[in-house]
Amino acid sequence: MSRGVVVGSGPNGLAAAITLAAAGLEVTVLEAAAVPGGGTRSAEVTVPGLVHDECSGFHPLALDNAFSRRFDLAAHGLRWAAPPVQYAHPLDGGDGAAAYRSVDETADQFGDSARRYRQLFGSITGKFDRIAGEFLQPMLHVPRDPFPLAQFGIPAALPATWVARWLRDERAAALWTGVAAHAFHPLTTPLSSAIGVALGTAAHRYGWPVAVGGSATISRAMIALLESLGGTVVTDTTVTSLDQLDSPDVVLLDTSPQAAAGILSGKQPERVARAYRRYRHGPAAFQVAFAVEDGIPWSYEPARRAGTIHVAGSSSEVVAAERDTWSGRMPSKPFLLVGQQYLADPDRAAGNLVPVDAYAHVPAGFTGDARQLVVDQIERFAPGFTRRIRASHVRATATIATDNPNYVGGDITTGANSARQLIFRPRVAFDPYSTGVDGVYLCSAATPPGAGAHGLCGFHAANSALKKLERGGGPQASRQQDSTQQGSS
């Protein structure tokens, strides 16, 4: 029986392990932290009984994809639930805009710009299953559905600020810029619309669901499935060198490219090692979890029913905040994502005390304390919020980076979403999962299709490893080859 080792138990590491185990390999996952799950963890960090997501909260791209269609996590306890309103964007003076499941209901808020909103999201929402199949894999492939992909690709290729101007209506522009800002990248650059188009369309197609019981139920279901296939997860084990591993046939690294270069030190071709060392990380997050009595009193009523609230004000304020964080300046009014998961999953609350998970976009490696800025931004659109806070818990940027070494400098997307890294991640290669070392693959969110708790990076990386293994490639195979060559020389 062939053996596989996966380093790291984030959703991609677990998806890779499941894919290898389902192919008949004996699989062990080695995790540095005491608790498995990487970016899919939950804990009662403010008040006992309130369930907070420590990292991923909303999962629009995890619901229906190549991995979820192949492996039934529902059979292992995973359930999704979407909030009444998918995301909202409050503006000063109690106004705002909201994204509903229906494209028409969303467009109808925008008066004369309704037609433009429908043009942006309407036609691609119905075809999104096929389109998502194309972009949720390495970019270098022959598309099966070129026409719908082109309909998606044209707005995706534009700077998000161009799309905002084209939408005309300020509320539509703000709603759009808020979703585009998930890219953690200046919104004036080419391809800065790509993530906004994907997440905005997914909101209409699938909603932005939470995992019932907390995001930790995603990793729990994945581990249960892995164990049912004979795999195991070992925690408290940091891997720093390939030599620590007992010559498995395949190794998948759910790590940052830099950490992978360290683990493979001296074994990678120099050009690949250099590409890994030069891999660029983006801005960071600063998290504050709140226990709030009676919920946040948003002035814009639909925000009280929304799972995610994008907080920054007008479209130009979002653009300015993202430009500043990218340039290393901490904005006085940062862009926030505020998660109200309990609206989809009421059991996470305790009576009238509800959990809220917020984070601000801050510069990479930010060392300051942004808690008050987060509170002030929410208070600006929800007067009276401060008086309702019963407890809070901060995870500063440095803590995010030390809790999980994949989040280099606090970059929760495991790599900047620059145009180059959106297309070629982590380096320009036909097989982006290959590390240049036989049998060893990178499978983290630093590979296609990038960040998110969807498991697709791990799934594709494991399939790449399995194909190579079938053809006879792997560390054991290459070691055997080496010894045969040495013996014959």
Ligand X SMILES: Cc1cc2nc3c(=O)[nH]c(=O)nc-3n(C[C@H](O)[C@H](O)[C@H](O)COP(=O)(O)OP(=O)(O)OC[C@H]3O[C@@H](n4cnc5c(N)ncnc54)[C@H](O)[C@@H]3O)c2cc1C
Give the footprint of ligand X on this chain (CB under 6 A). Answer: 7-13, 30-33, 38-40, 55-59, 238-239, 254-255, 259, 285, 287, 359, 400, 404-407, 412, 414, 444-445, 451-453, 457
Q: 118-144: buried (b, 16+ CB within 10 Å) or exposed (e) per residue?
A: bebbbebbebbebbbbbbbbbeeeebe
Cβ–Cβ < 8 Å for 216, 137: no
Q: 21 or 172, CB closer to ligand X?
A: 21
Q: 211 has which bridge partners?
A: 80
Cβ–Cβ < 8 Å for 318, 187: yes
Q: 15 or 91, CB closer to ligand X?
A: 15
Please give the order of strands across the beta sheet that includes 250-253: 232-234, 26-30, 3-7, 250-253, 440-442
Contacts of 15 (CB under 8 A, 6+ apart): 67, 71, 222, 443, 455, 456, 457, 458, 459, 462
Element (H, E) at 96: strand 96-99
Q: 244 or 386, CB closer to ligand X?
A: 244
**Would you say how long the chain is, in residues?**
489
Extended strands (E) in 324-462: 336-339, 353-362, 389-395, 440-442
Cβ–Cβ < 8 Å for 471, 438: no
CB of 361 to ligand X, least distance (A): 11
Q: 110 or 335, CB closer to ligand X?
A: 335
CB of 351 to ligand X, least distance (A): 26
Nearest one of 209, 190, 202 to 56, comparing CA atoms: 209
Q: 3 or 41, CB closer to ligand X?
A: 41
Rounded to whole angstroms, the Cα distance separating 153 from 165 reads 18
Q: 291 has which bridge partners?
A: 355, 391
Q: Is 372 exposed, middle or buried (0-12, 13-18, 19+ CB in 10 A)?
A: exposed
> Cα angle vertex 55, ends 311, 386, to 5°?
40
CB of 116 to ligand X, least distance (A): 27
CB of 481 to ligand X, least distance (A): 27
CB of 487 to ligand X, least distance (A): 34
CB of 311 to ligand X, least distance (A): 15
Extended strands (E) in 305-407: 306-311, 336-339, 353-362, 389-395
Element (H, E) at 234: strand 232-234
Q: Is 416 exposed, middle or buried (0-12, 13-18, 19+ CB in 10 A)?
A: buried
CB of 219 to ligand X, least distance (A): 9
Q: 28 or 106, CB closer to ligand X?
A: 28
CB of 114 to ligand X, least distance (A): 28
Element (H, E) at 120: helix 114-126
Q: 31 or 249, CB closer to ligand X?
A: 31
Rounded to whole angstroms, the Cα distance separating 193 from 159 reads 6
CB of 287 to ligand X, least distance (A): 5
Sign for the pseudo-dihedral over CA of 50, 51, 55, 59: negative
CB of 413 to ligand X, least distance (A): 6
Q: 177 or 219, CB closer to ligand X?
A: 219
Tokens of 187: 């919104």
Q: 58 or 279, CB closer to ligand X?
A: 58
CB of 263 to ligand X, least distance (A): 6
Q: 53 or 438, CB closer to ligand X?
A: 53
CB of 28 to ligand X, least distance (A): 12
Tokens of 35: 């608790």
Rounded to whole angstroms, the Cα distance separating 30 from 34 reads 11
Q: 158 or 195, CB closer to ligand X?
A: 195
Q: 238 or 352, CB closer to ligand X?
A: 238
Tokens of 99: 């994204």
Element (H, E) at 74: none
